Amino acid sequence: MSRLGFMWANLFRRPVRTWLTLVSVLIAFLLFVLLRTVSHAFSEGGGFGEPGIDRLVVSPKYSIIDPLPISALQQIAGVDGVLAVTHADWFGGVYQDRANFFPKYPVEPIPHFEMYSEYLIDPQQLEAFANTRTGAVAPAAMAAKYGWKVGDKIPIEGDIWAKKDGSRNWEFDLVGTYAAPEDLQQPAVFLLNHAYFDEAREVGEGTVGWFTVRIADTGRAAEIANAIDALFTNSLNPTRTITEAEQARQFMQQIGDIELMMTGILAAVFFTILLLTGNTMAQALRERVPELAVLKTIGFSDGAVAALVLGEALLLCAVGALLGTAAAFGAAAVIGPGLEEAIGVFEINGVTVASALGVSALLGLVRLSIVDALPER
Partner 1 sequence: MAVVSCKGVEKTFIKGKESVEVLAGISLEIEAGDFLALMGPSGSGKTTLLNLIGGLDHPSAGSVVVGGQSLAEMSARQLAKWRAANVGFIFQFYNLLPVLSAQRNVELPLLLTALSSKQRQANAAAALQIVGLADRARHKPGELSGGQQQRVAIARAIVADPGLLVCDEPTGDLDRETADEILKLLETLNGEYGKTIIMVTHDPKAAEHAAQVLRMDKGLLVEDAA
Binding site for partner 1 (CB under 8 A): 1-3, 5-6, 9-10, 12-13, 290-291, 294-304
Nearest distance in Å: CB 310, partner 1: 16
Nearest distance in Å: CB 358, partner 1: 28
Please name which of 200, 190, 146 lies closest in space to residue 169, comparing C-alpha atoms: 200
Q: Are 301 and 4 in contact (CB under 8 A)?
A: no
* Neighbour-count burial of 375, counting CB atoms closer than 10 A to its CB (0-12 exposed, 13-18 middle, 19+ buried): exposed
Residue among 290 and 350 whose Cβ is closer to partner 1: 290
| Helix or strand holding residue 288 (H, E) | none
Nearest distance in Å: CB 295, partner 1: 8
Residues 6+ apart with CB under 8 A from 181: 118, 120
Q: Strands 120-121 and 169-179: what pairing?
A: antiparallel
Q: How far apart are the first and last CA of the chain?
A: 28
- Please give the Cα distance from 241 to 28 (Å, whole number): 41
SS3 category, 298: coil
Please name which of 88, 102, 83 lies closest in space to residue 58, comparing C-alpha atoms: 88
Residue among 226 and 301 whose Cβ is closer to partner 1: 301
Nearest distance in Å: CB 276, partner 1: 23
Residue among 10 and 134 whose Cβ is closer to partner 1: 10
Please name which of 355, 301, 302 lies closest in space to residue 324, comparing C-alpha atoms: 355
Please name which of 347, 343, 39, 348 lies closest in space to residue 188, comparing C-alpha atoms: 343
Nearest distance in Å: CB 18, partner 1: 11
Residue among 206 and 299 whose Cβ is closer to partner 1: 299
Report the largest interatomic distance among the alpha carbons of the chain, rounded to a whole angstrom. Answer: 93
Residue among 166 and 303 whose Cβ is closer to partner 1: 303
Residues 6+ apart with CB under 8 A from 311: 3, 4, 7
Nearest distance in Å: CB 11, partner 1: 9
Nearest distance in Å: CB 286, partner 1: 15
| Helix or strand holding residue 14 (H, E) | none
Q: Are 143 and 104 in contact (CB under 8 A)?
A: no
Nearest distance in Å: CB 33, partner 1: 32
Residue among 166 and 299 whose Cβ is closer to partner 1: 299
Region for residue 315 given its phi and psi (left: phi exceeds 0; alpha: psi -120 to 50; beta: otherwise): alpha
